[in-house]
């Protein structure tokens, strides 16, 4: 998603599925929210998340983000994530953006933190910084993930921090993110998702003011192994850097890879 410092670009009651999951072929969407949940793909299984986000900035320019995220179950509580996104910044062409690798490790399943996981992330400067498809920096991030069930409603709370290489000219040396995501059933396979997320103020030559935005829309579980989503993003603070957006995508539990 826009300005995300972590991999993430849930519903279909995603947290419901991860709290009670017994079928390894059951899809566990982390998209469309900026937040992720504490669930992990079953060992030996692979899941794909992909879609498109169309951004409209305040200066009337437009951009396109095409996230592609593979999730591989390594162990019962460990998931490897590989993000290979494409992007079309305003005034530029479509091209490969910055590749990221994440390792989600679930530490707890119960208690005050609910299902709790940590996710370190390494982002590499594979996208063109001159074309606006990358920052030209190597980033190390850490995301804290707390997932809960509130009756039929899932709640995923995230807090993250990113530290970047470079002198702060291309991108701030340090940035943070917070999210509060909720999802639940509507009727039958139809569900909903709602999220509030924010990026606090950053400093340095590339610093920017704080942004806060709302995300929401319907989700639909096509089958146990396929879910689709659509919706929009509306900024409520920091509107000069956070665009309005519409998005659509899918999560597909492909099957076993070993």
Q: Which domains, from first to last, does the chain contain?
A: 14-256 (2.40.230.20)
- The pLDDT of residue 5: 37
- The pLDDT of residue 21: 60
Model confidence pTM above 0.75: yes
- The pLDDT of residue 238: 80
**Cα→Cα distances 22→27, 107, 112, 140, Å:** 11, 19, 23, 33
pLDDT tens profile 223-232: 999 999 999 9
- The pLDDT of residue 241: 81
Q: Which residues of the chain have pLDDT under 70?
A: 1-21
């Amino acid at each position: 998603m826009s300005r995300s410092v972590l991999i993430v670009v849930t519903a279909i009651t995603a947290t419901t599925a991860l709290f009670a999951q017994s079928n390894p072929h059951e899809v566990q969407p982390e998209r469309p929210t900026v937040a992720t949940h504490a669930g992990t793909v079953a060992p030996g299984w692979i899941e794909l998340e992909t879609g498109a986000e169309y951004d409209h900035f305040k200066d009337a320019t437009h951009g396109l983000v095409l996230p592609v995220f593979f999730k591989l179950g390594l162990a019962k509580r460990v998931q490897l994530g590989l993000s290979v996104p494409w992007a079309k910044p305003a005034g530029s062409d479509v091209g490969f953006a910055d590749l990221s690798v994440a390792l989600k490790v679930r530490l707890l399943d119960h208690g005050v933190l609910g299902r709790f996981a940590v996710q370190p992330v390494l982002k590499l400067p594979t996208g063109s910084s001159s074309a606006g498809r990358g920052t030209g920096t190597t980033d190390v991030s850490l995301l804290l993930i707390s997932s809960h069930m509130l009756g039929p409603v899932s709640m995923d709370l995230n807090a993250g921090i990113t530290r970047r290489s470079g002198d702060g000219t291309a991108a701030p040396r340090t940035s943070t993110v917070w999210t509060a995501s909720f999802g639940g059933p509507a009727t039958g396979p139809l569900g909903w998702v709602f999220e509030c997320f924010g990026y606090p103020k950053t400093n340095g030559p590339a610093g920017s003011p704080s942004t806060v935005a709302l995300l929401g829309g319907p989700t639909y579980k096509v089958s146990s192994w396929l879910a689709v989503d659509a919706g929009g993003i509306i900024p409520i603070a920091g509107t000069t850097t956070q665009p309005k957006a519409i998005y659509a995508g899918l999560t597909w539990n492909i099957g076993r890879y070993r």
